[in-house]
Amino acid sequence: MSERVEQRHDWSLEEIADLLQSPLMDLLWSAQGVHRAANPGYKVQLASLLSVKTGGCEEDCAYCPQSMHHSSDVTGQPDLEVKAVLDRARIAAEAGADRFCMGWAWREIREGPAFESMLAMVRGVRDLGLEACVTAGMLTDSQAERLAEAGLTAYNHNLDTSPEHYDNIITTRTYQERLETLQKVRQAGVTLCCGGIIGMGESLRDRASMLQVLACLDPHPESVPINALVAVEGTPLETQPTIDPLELVRMVAVARILMPYSRVRLSAGREQLNREAQILCLQAGADSIFYGDSLLTTSNPAVESDRALLAAAGVQASWQERAAA
């Protein structure tokens, strides 16, 4: 049995910035060593994402088309009911997903029928044999506890960017409130899904700072989504240029080195990458991807494309492992 990789929670900003700027081949070599030791067999988790409540969010996140502050706000789509969500979850499971993620465009979880429906969705998703993840903004201690009792696997609450760059992106919620939300989730016994976005006008030092916050959490987040900005018309960041794919590769590699046993999830922006860039991200340490689109049917070309990608990379998805068992 291989020795466990050392986990640190005391990374300095300078150490992380040096990693982000190190020669790419050296960085990939280091990340590969960590990844192979921490993830023997090179398995990739497939996650499906569905928006349950879309648009009309009170937050002013500069990247988000669901904010009521932006002309891109997509309010008008009806909230999905429990049966509709579980039908989608069932299709996702049949297509090979392991985790079903559900999103609500809220600043904070609201009490009442909507929260009761959320709990029913979590229970239903778990009954299907899937991990259940929710992202719905801030929450109270009692809400976190009730979600844990319903069987919630993970709660997603991203930092988005560094503490230093944060006020340039969001003004309606503080960085400290984000950290307090993470603490409430931890105290309830639910795992954390927490990452950020690059390509929002931040500096390399901002990227290092965001990774430092994540890597100094003890324990590390169990899942770390690495997103690249998708510039949407009608948002304040609509004119931001698309990042160089190798910048995303570097972020994935450094996240893997800093947090050896976290799932590093290749998330938003993946559709902007060609096959070779995605394979480089897998080589750099990404071991989870969002699978298909929000509708996710078994005949969806995106699903077949993802399966072909994993086959070309020679890595095994979790559904293949289940099928072989």
61 as an active site residue: the answer is yes
Catalytic status, residue 281: no
pLDDT tens-digit readout, 18-36:
999 999 999 999 999 999 9
Output the pTM of the full model: 0.90
The residue from 99, 101, 207, 256 that is catalytic is 101
Catalytic position from the list 265, 270, 281, 307:
265
Do residues 100 and 92 make contact, with C-beta atoms less than 8 angstroms apart? yes
Whether 216 is catalytic is no
Tell me what percent of the residues of the chain surpass a pLDDT of 70: 90
Q: So where are the chain's domains?
A: 13-320
Q: Which of 88, 193, 256, 270 is labelled catalytic?
A: 193
Q: Which of 133, 178, 207, 250 is catalytic?
A: 133
HEC secondary structure over the chain: CCCCCCCCCCCCHHHHHHHHHCCHHHHHHHHHHHHHHHCCCCEEEEEEEEEEECCCECCCCCCCCCECCCCCCCCCCCCCCHHHHHHHHHHHHHHCCCEEEEEECCCECCCCHHHHHHHHHHHHHHHCCCEEEEECCECCHHHHHHHHHHCCCEEECCCECCCCCHHHCCCCCCHHHHHHHHHHHHHCCCEEECCEEECCCCCHHHHHHHHHHHHCCCCCCCEEEEEECCCCCCCCCCCCCCCCHHHHHHHHHHHHHHCCCCEEEECCCHHHCCHHHHHHHHHHCCCEEECCCCCCCCCCHHHHHHHHHHHHHCCEEHHHHHHHC
Per-residue pLDDT tens digits for 54-105: 877 788 888 887 776 665 545 556 567 999 999 999 988 888 889 999 998 8
Say what the pLDDT of residue 64 is: 84
Query: Is 64 an annotated catalytic residue?
Result: yes
Query: Can you say whether the dihedral through the CA atoms of 106, 107, 113, 115 is positive or negative?
Result: positive
Q: Is 194 noted as a catalytic residue in this protein?
A: no
Catalytic annotation, pick one of 4, 8, 36, 57: 57
Q: In the annotation, is 193 catalytic?
A: yes
13-320 has which fold?
TIM Barrel (3.20.20)
- Summarize pLDDT for 35-44 with one digit per residue, the tens: 999 988 778 8
